[in-house]
Amino acid sequence: MPIHILNIMCCCCSKSLKNKIDKLRLRKKRLKEHKYCGCIEGESSRRRAKMRSCGDRRTSEEEDEVCEALEYNFSNVEVKEGFSVSEPINPFSHQLTCALRPQSDLVVEGIVREKAKSFTVNLVIGRNECPNIAFHFNPRLDQCYVARNTLLGGQWGDEEGCGVFGFPFARGKRFLIEIYLTHSQFLVAVDGVHYCSYAYRTPIENITGIDVSGAVDLTSVYLRTSLVFPSALPPDFPPSPHFIPLNSEGTTEHELQVTPIYGIFQKKLTLNSEIEIIGRIKYLPTSFFVNLQEGKNIYPHPEIPLHISSRFSQTKNFVVLANAWHDKGWGKEEFPNKESPFIPGSEFTLRIVCESEQFIAEVNNQLLLEFNHRVPYTNIDTILIYGDVFVYNIRLNL
């Protein structure tokens, strides 16, 4: 089997050379992630590449100093643009007065009409008869499907349609769509719950307007800057069934509750706390996971002191692993030395105990794994359950 030249270099050369290679890989990754957001990260990377192509021999530290002047903190800029809607209207079209950037947050509220078949939210580029569409969000109620796509030069790209949970819209019901911009993708929440993501296919700074059409009546549309996603729902908006307040001591029961489920603790996790989840695996599962984490936001990524994931395959090679998210990344995965106790179609009881040095997880009264603490557990205030399971019951003893 051939050996990659970089592996030879890393083994035979000095540690400093390996560090340079790692930095190069990281910069390529960062440039790819910031290709379309128009922010300083992408511009700095392009400036460095241009400096080197012109024979500039500055060190990495000197390059950083040259590019530092371009750095821009978007969180210092408050973008607020409200589009007054005195009564339900449709269609809706608005020309933006400020450019979109990372941390821009677009909110669309309205009511789906009783005989609706579909409606569309478009972020458009230009104002000609057939403008390009940077982001096309198209709920189709007659198909229970949400299509996402991009139109450039009169050609549609590859359509995306998967969501984090089932179809979130219903005829005659109120809705709130939140479209949040990061450095690499649109994040979309429906009724306060993250629904999907969509990677940029064209620079977001070129977006000039928003169009909403189809079988809905709009009540509010506005643009703002936000540091978190998803944002809290308005006080008068019906609470989401996906967010469940959990008693510090006692049982919270549900009937075939589908995921994602965000269980919100009334107080943070303490030593010797116990969490018990009773549920059932779906008959044709792909995966599910349980997170003990800090907060319910998707962006910025929360700290996750404990992540337990069960993954299934057609070859019946089922896998369980544990991990933690800390300091902007996942750590090393840990695998129990036993077969997975999670069987498609079967019920289970997962019990997690927080001890001073580790978490202990049991399934159906049998030890599953022990996971040493990598992140302080005292900030845990949320349990997230997601994937191919039904949840009957969550019990806490904090």
Predicted confidence band of residue 129 (pLDDT cuts 50, 70, 90): confident
Is pLDDT of 290 > 90? yes
Peptide bond into 234 cis (omega under 30): no
Residue 41 corresponds to which amino acid? E
In this prediction, residues 350-362 reach a mean pLDDT of 97
In this prediction, residues 347-353 reach a mean pLDDT of 97
Is pLDDT of 34 > 80? no
Q: Which residues contact 145 (CB under 8 A, 6 or more apart)?
A: 139, 161, 167
- Structural domain contains residue 133: yes
The answer to which of 37-41, 117-121, 215-219, 387-391 has the lowest mean pLDDT is 37-41
> Where does a domain end: 225, 254, 284?
225
What is the per-residue pLDDT across 106-118, written as a single tens digit (0 to 9) for each? 999 999 999 999 9
Closest CA to 137 of 189, 192, 182: 189
What is the pLDDT, as a whole number, of residue 6? 41
Predicted confidence band of residue 315 (pLDDT cuts 50, 70, 90): confident
- Structural domain contains residue 89: yes
What is the pLDDT, as a whole number, of residue 14? 54
| Residue 207 and residue 179 in contact, taking contact as beta carbons nearer than 8 Å | no
Determine the structural domain holding residue 192 and report its residue range.
84-225
What is the pLDDT, as a whole number, of residue 64? 43
What is the pLDDT, as a whole number, of residue 74? 36
* 322 in the same domain as 280: yes
Is pLDDT of 37 > 90? no
What is the per-residue pLDDT across 230-284, written as a single tens digit (0 to 9) for each? 999 999 999 898 999 888 665 665 555 789 999 999 889 999 999 999 999 999 9
CA distance linking residue 180 with residue 165, whole number of Å: 18
- Structural domain contains residue 299: yes
With residue 46 as reference, give the H or E element that holds it.
helix 40-53
- Structural domain contains residue 361: yes
Is pLDDT of 125 > 60? yes
State the pTM of this model.
Answer: 0.81
* 218 in the same domain as 330: no
Q: Supply the DSSP symbol for 317.
A: -
**Token couple for 328:** 């902007």
What is the pLDDT, as a whole number, of residue 160? 97
* 133 in the same domain as 271: no
Question: Which CATH number goes with the domain that contains 249?
Answer: 2.60.120.200
What is the pLDDT, as a whole number, of residue 313? 85
Closest CA to 207 of 190, 176, 189, 186: 186
> Where does a domain end: 225, 251, 274?
225
CA distance linking residue 103 with residue 122, whole number of Å: 18
CA distance linking residue 307 with residue 290, whole number of Å: 6
Backbone torsions φ then ψ of 64, nearest 5 degrees: -60, -40
Q: Which residues pair with 383 in a beta bridge?
A: 263, 292
What is the pLDDT, as a whole number, of residue 19? 60
Alpha-carbon distance values, 208 to 95, 98, 308, 328, 389 (Å): 6, 8, 43, 32, 42
**Number of domains within the chain:** 2
